Amino acid sequence: MTSVKTRLIVPMLTMSVLAASSGWAAKPIALERARGAAPESSLLDVHIIVLDPAEGFLPEVRRAEARYIPVGLKRVFQTAGFWGTVRVVPEAGHTDLTISGAVTASYGGELRLEIRATDATGKVWLDKKYKRKADASVYLGRDSTKDPFQDLYHQIANDVSKKYKKLKARDIETIRNVSDLRFASDLAPDVFADYLSVEKNRYVVVHLPSRDDPMMERVALIRQRDGVFIDTVDSYYESLFENMRESYQGWRSQDYWQREAMKKGAPTATGSGGRNAPLGVLIAGGGGAGFGQGALCGTPGLFGGGVTTPDDERRREEQRKQTHLDVLRELGASLAADVAPLVVEVDGNVAQLTGSVEAQYAKWRALLKEIFLISS
């Protein structure tokens, strides 16, 4: 029978071996947060565009992943408290600050992103490559809500917040005014074309409409409707995030442990270190731990009773990983499929938007001009 002392030693051995052999214990990055609630006039709205997916291996998974990561980043921006409304959108529109980029590499142990932040005037706040190794303690635990690359999201949010905190009140006002005027000029270019000029790829306010300009009041009402629609689009991405989180985290975890095992030249198998931790990682080259495969696998009752061979565990792990991949492929493929139609009313007439989320978004952008013309 396994002693209490032995049961206590195994988890500590697991953690110490991993810390020594896999290098996961990188210094955490704390998220910088706003101190107190800021006045609405000082807040900038943010759109995070669906990322360009990594190329090559598992294209359906990569497409889903490119929509999953922006939601995780969005939640960090919301938590930071420096921003107004933060939404995930399929493509660039007109808002105060736009975050775009690409997934350049992604697997269980490492995530690499290229991120660009540009405000409504065209000023680039950030154009940077990010790389972060996974916090493998997430893979050892049972908290599926924590992301192994949370610190990378923190780093991006902190870098953008740092730029924001350098802005003066007049800079924020200019960004918001340009955002409004670019939205208006898209709806009615003949009316609003001379309010802005472009100098060296930057938008400059030539003059502002009066506060009671009836045309701008109509634009404001349409922009409110646009915000409601974008909230609906954003909710699709939130739903995808929740639906794929468990399988995506499971797949990441499996990928991580398999790669760690291959580094050590050991078979992968699930041990007591976590729901997806392979025994091969825990016993191969364990930093002088002095345990061999037979020492752990051959201890009756140590991992739930009985002896499990490496081949048995390898087959089980492959089956788990395949299950995760099947779910992710299905979710990735569904992105191109139709979602529930959205019904919108235009001056008493009902219009139905059909197709994928991205297709409905494009149709809506085109419909905005029609709404503006009808409301004149």
Domain ranges of the chain: 4-245, 246-333, 342-374
Is the confidence at residue 245, as pLDDT, over 80?
yes
- pLDDT digits 0-9 by tens, 122-134: 999 999 999 999 9
- pTM for this model (two decimals): 0.78
Helical packing angle, 169-187 and 357-374, nearest 10°? 80
Give the pLDDT confidence score for residue 346 in this predicted structure. 61
Beta strands 97-107 and 110-119 are: antiparallel
Long-range contacts of 344-348 (CB under 8 A, 24+ apart): 344/229, 346/370, 346/371, 346/374, 347/371, 347/374, 347/375
CB 118 within 8 A of CB 107: no
Give the pLDDT confidence score for residue 355 in this predicted structure. 76
Question: How far apart (Å, rounded) are the C-alpha atoms in residues 303 and 2?
Answer: 10
CB 17 within 8 A of CB 282: yes
Question: How far apart (Å, rounded) are the C-alpha atoms in residues 85 and 290?
Answer: 54
- Residues 6+ positions from 322 with CB-CB distance below 8 Å: none
Q: Mean pLDDT, to the nearest integer, of 69-82? A: 97
Mean pLDDT of all residues belonging to the chain: 78
With the C-alpha atoms ordered 238, 34, 47, 229, is the resulting torsion angle positive or negative? positive
- pLDDT digits 0-9 by tens, 274-331: 444 444 333 333 333 222 233 223 333 333 445 667 666 666 766 766 666 676 667 6
- pLDDT digits 0-9 by tens, 145-201: 789 999 999 999 999 999 999 999 999 999 999 999 999 999 888 888 899 999 989
- Name which residue leads in pLDDT, 348 or 147: 147
Question: How far apart (Å, rounded) are the C-alpha atoms in residues 6 and 302?
Answer: 8
**Tokens describing residue 338:** 């139709």
Name the most confidently modeled range: 230-244, 286-300, 340-354: 230-244
Question: How far apart (Å, rounded) are the C-alpha atoms in residues 313 and 306?
Answer: 13
- Residues 6+ positions from 353 with CB-CB distance below 8 Å: 341, 342, 343, 344, 360, 363, 364, 367
Q: Mean pLDDT, to the nearest integer, of 210-235? A: 89
Residue 50 burial by Cβ neighbours in a 10 Å radius (0-12, 13-18, 19+): buried
Among 212, 96, 102, 130, CA closest to 220: 212
**Tokens describing residue 170:** 């007049």
Kindly report the backbone phi and psi dihedral angles of residue 274, in degrees, each rounded to the nearest multiple of 5, phi listed first: 170, 170
pLDDT band at 12 (very low <50, low <70, confident <90, very high): very low
Give the pLDDT confidence score for residue 62 in this predicted structure. 87
CA terminus-to-terminus distance, the chain: 83
Among 97, 73, 94, CA closest to 167: 97
Give the pLDDT confidence score for residue 341 in this predicted structure. 62
